Structure 1
Amino acid sequence: MEGKKHQLFDKRQSKPRIINDIGEGMDYTIVQTKDIRYGKSTIHYWPPNISSIFLNSSKKHFEIACNIHKIEIKPLESQSKTIELSIDQTCQLYDYIENMQIAIIMLSTAIECIINSIIPSNYIYKTKYKYEKKEYGYLDIQRYISLIEKIKCIIPDALKVSEVHKQKFWSKFKRLIVLRNNLIHMKSKETSSNYDQRNYFEDLDNHIIQTLVDGETISLVNSGFDLIKFLQKEIPQKHDFPILYETENLEIERVDDIRNYFKHV
């Protein structure tokens, strides 16, 4: 039986729930709305999917950064000489760095939100650290397990999906997360014991900018988008997953009587 179409007005919105009443043979679209207080007013609204907010922000800034790189930075690559940037070119470089940093951080945050939301709340992660057996419940997984470990070890086991670390984008995605960590935690590179710490932060900034300007950074960011698309394909009807496409299938929950559903919500 072909399902009915439900209009989605914005990819950032949270997905509605589709309830099929078996007895009546009807589908019901259930939307959870919320209220926030603002001054004397009460604002009633359809809440967004938080992962989608971060993802949308990343896509916007990434598109701006890619355009700047293509027009302003890429043409300088083949010029085998020292180039003094004009004030306008310097401002364009700043815009590129700013937008690329935002794109990387927002994308990584979106992925972290997605991963945390799709891990089943009753899942127990069993592992070993230094020959000691460890078990992590849902909250401890979020707090103590790295994003890379969640994606590589937990997601395939918890959701019975293909092994993510065997996909083509995996090596670049790991480098993307290293770059994200460097941007946030200011860990850029290994230094020798006799490194002049007085110049540490000056060299640190230049190292990060060098990495960002490198055209390969664009492919690293694309690996993050590839990961999200891969997960969406593996678990296409997950309710908490962000909306990626103009048309998507929504999970249908079937109940004998819709009235019994509301008694348990």
Structure 2
Amino acid sequence: MTKARCSTCLSVTLFCLNLFFCLCGLALIAVSLWGYYDNNFERELKAELNKDNFQYAKEGFIGVVWFLFSVGVFAFAIGVLGCIRALTTNRCIIGFYIVSIFVLFLIGLGVGIFVLACRARIRNEFKVVVEKAYNADRGGMAAVEKRFCCGYGNRNGTAVREPPPESCNGKSVMTPCADALWDQLDRLLMISGIVLIVALVLMAIAILLSCALCRTVKRGRILCDIKPKLRSVNPSLHINSF
């Protein structure tokens, strides 16, 4: 009886965990669709960027929107599969769910290790990209300077000279764009890393719960097969239910 209650508790916990995955997936889908269909996003982009760079920024924004949409659909699908898995004893569904979430766990872990191991290389390549952007698209970097930084290397390297960008006044007078933009990216990577760690912990818990339930289901089936044989040998034998 105690084992049956433990199995029920594990199933409920796994169901709630995968329901959380479903809600996160739906939230990402809703935000991505909102960003794609809401015209306010387009007006805000126009207000922040020059007209010459608006089309490029819009294309990048749409790419991010569809990426979030894809991640949301995948998270929702995994969550639905996990909810079905928590309510069923079908070993095919159980196995498919465990393999799917384990592969996703390995991918997330690999991405996290790669970013940590190659952080210095990513920073150097990012600075090269910023330098090339200064040489190729002065207008676009002018819009960036107005918001984040003051020139590629120092104030003398500003793309906007008349008048100087607002970021060249006050505390950020000597903040190079390469460093300022990297700080923004590094902050984003840090937040993404925290989210990734939380996701990996939740996926690890889901894998452990699924394996425990799979073992419980297997034991229950073995016990169901053994009971009739034992009773046929000794009818007076009483076996408690699993």
TM-score normalised over the length of structure 1: 0.28
Q: Which has the higher helix share?
A: 2
Which protein has the bigger strand share?
1
Query: How does the TM-score come out when normalised to structure 2?
Result: 0.30
Asked which structure has the greater RCO (Cα within 8 Å, sep 6+), the reply is 1
